[in-house]
Structure 1
Amino acid sequence: MQFPLVHVSWALADNTQRPACDAFLRDVFGAEAAYEILVTPETEALGLDREESLMMIGDTMVIPIAPAGRGAQAGNPLGDMLRRSAGAARWIGLALKVADLAAADAWFAGRGFRRFYDPGMEAHYFLVPRSEMLGMRLEIVKQDMPNDPRRDPAWRPAGGAGGYGPLGIEGLQAVGVSTPSLAQARALFADRLEWPDLGERELADACCAAFAMGDTVLEALEGAPGSPVACHAQDIGGICHLVFKVRDAAAAMACLRGQGLPLVGTQDTRFAVHPDAAHGRLIWLTGQTPPGYPAPGSRLGRGIVAQP
């Protein structure tokens, strides 16, 4: 089963960090807030325990989430999870869209995956835990995100001329996940999840095996012993990067340099704002499309969702 991507989420330890993180996404990537979930006296009485902004980078939803309200108290399950997940190079996970939640649950169960439901949300989504997904939490959702602009088939991100925002982003190209071995990643993504294997290639810091996840690519990265990628797989696990395709790599790099941002990587391959200046996350930009990768762009606006 191949699943359109709903969102990518990451955690912040403290809600006071969220405005600066949202501003970074707006100022650097041209992100637009589709919706903001806030703790008010009314929502806190209903048990809301976090705050988040649903940020659209092109047609990809990225959500930094911070504990708030009840979540700010030690011992709150969601707040504790966010605080555990908030370190540098850590992401929470992915949400993927299905049309029939019960059928998706049966599909995952048939492949031996554990699933969890949050109380009261059994009709909306279920979770596949990190231990099942190389450290990445997977959320399988039927519900729409609030005010998701992609629900309108006529909606297009602002930008024009084939690119969006100041960097000319065309769309999300890939999500990277660190792995102890490509064989282990292939057994999970190709064999159990049945995502098409797009082949291997060498990157500057790792060997990469790519899998078609739906409307984007999952890149599994195996690093040499002692390398940053190998250490990520051993000590953190899960998502280690995002990759956005840009219309003009030279122009995007010049834009970042013009903002005085420190960069890593190369214009000819992929480059990024150094994680120390990017709230601890690695978000690559590239002007290249590897062989076999699909053109970037969300399928949600075209009403395409996975059917078991």
Structure 2
Amino acid sequence: MTAMPVAHISWALADNAERPACDAFFQDVFGARTVFEMLETPETAGMGLDREERLMLVGETMIIPIAPAGEGVKQTSPLGNMLRRSAAPMRWIGVALKVASLAQADARLRAARFDLHYDPGMENHYFIVARHQALGMRIEVLAQDLPNDPRRDPEWRADPADNPLGIEGLQAIGLSAPSVGEARAIFGTRFGWPELGERAMIEGAAFDMGDTVLEVLTGSEGSAVATHAREIKGIYHLVFKVRDARAAAAKLRERGLDLIGDVSDRFAIAPEQAHGRLIWLTDVTPEGYPPVGSRMHEFAPA
């Protein structure tokens, strides 16, 4: 399988007035470091911007909360309407995956019977696999570099010692699904991601995406996961590996944040205190999972 490293993970905010507080939370609590901002300013007023966003690295993982702005606040804006539809607790927009050749990725995914969408003018930069084709997870496949992305440097690595929680890297992306069988058909067979085996502890299965793991979660009828798969769909959680789970938990409690889960396995800030996102932390690596760390540097210019 050709690696498709995670370029970024994004979610939507319906009101741009909420975005600064959301950004600040991830900067203060998760140590997110800004590498680029797309903001509406007097200098950019004539560019027709339809959103505002801050590209932030948590360890080596780019996260982007996005809100409609400028042209995007109009009800006629396709991007603004997509963001407003996507803005809800526990709902994410999706992931962007990096490839060396957009044409080769196009051919491979079309052969796997995916319908691909190109935004006008972006035909040489990225295409999109819509949410309904991937169990609610919008997948952007891109060949372009993200602005100011330090991961392009083969020598660059994030230092966990510089992160307030000691984050080492992104261990997994969780996805709610109606059944493991449907996920195997999409991600195992059609995307070609190797299955790492069933995981009883998450009631599902896991797939190697290239530089992180996709955890497919099913859940019993009436469970939070099953409800998510039916009513919200798509990404359910992120999992970051930390150096010392107990030390990270202690720092979060010192901030007055409520924790859920088990510090000896996985724990998270209660989603209602984390802008509606479930982000687990752990210092345990499940059997068969690859080491954490971005592989974006593999696509650096020769």
Q: Shorter-normalised TM-score: what interval?
A: over 0.9
Query: For 1:85 and 1:252, how far apart are their aligned partners in 2?
Result: 30
> Which position in structure 2 is the counterpart of 1:20?
21
| Structure 2 residue aligned with 1:174 | 172
Residue of structure 1 equivalent to 2:75: 74
Counterpart for residue 125 of structure 1: 126
TM-superposed CA distance for 1:109, in Å, is 0.4
| Deviation, structure 1 residue 284 | 0.4
Equivalent positions of 1:71-150 (< 5 A) are: 71-150=72-151
Could you report, residue by residue, the CA deviation over 1:175-232 in whole angstroms, capped at 9, with x for unpaired residues?
A: 00000001111111111111000001122xx402000000000000001001000000
Aligned length: 300
**Residue 44 of structure 1, CA deviation:** 4.2
Indicate the SS of the match to 2:44: helix
Q: What is the correspondence of 1:1-308 to structure 2 with a 5 Å cutoff? A: 1-160=2-161, 164-203=162-201, 206-303=202-299
Root-mean-square deviation over aligned CA pairs: 1.3
Following superposition, the deviation at residue 41 of structure 1 comes to 4.4
Worse-superposed segment, 63-72 or 32-41: 32-41
Equivalent pair of 2:180/2:218 in contact (CA under 8 Å): yes
SS at match of 2:62: strand
Q: CA deviation at 1:158?
A: 4.3
Distance 1:117 1:42, change over 3 A: farther
> TM-score under structure 2 normalisation?
0.96
Q: Return the TM-score normalized by structure 1.
A: 0.95
Distance 1:253 1:49 in 2: 38
- C-alpha distance in 2, partners of 1:50/1:77? 11
Tell me how far apart the structure 2 counterparts of residues 72 and 147 of structure 1 sit (CA, whole Å).
27
CA distance in 2, matches of 1:70, 1:291: 48
Q: CA deviation at 1:154?
A: 2.5
Distance 2:122 2:51 in 1: 16
> Is the 8 Å Cα contact of residues 2 and 195 (structure 1) preserved in structure 2?
no
- Could you tell me the percent identity over the aligned residues? 61
Q: Is the 8 A contact 2:99 2:299 kept in 1?
A: no
User: Counterpart amino acid of 1:212?
Assistant: D
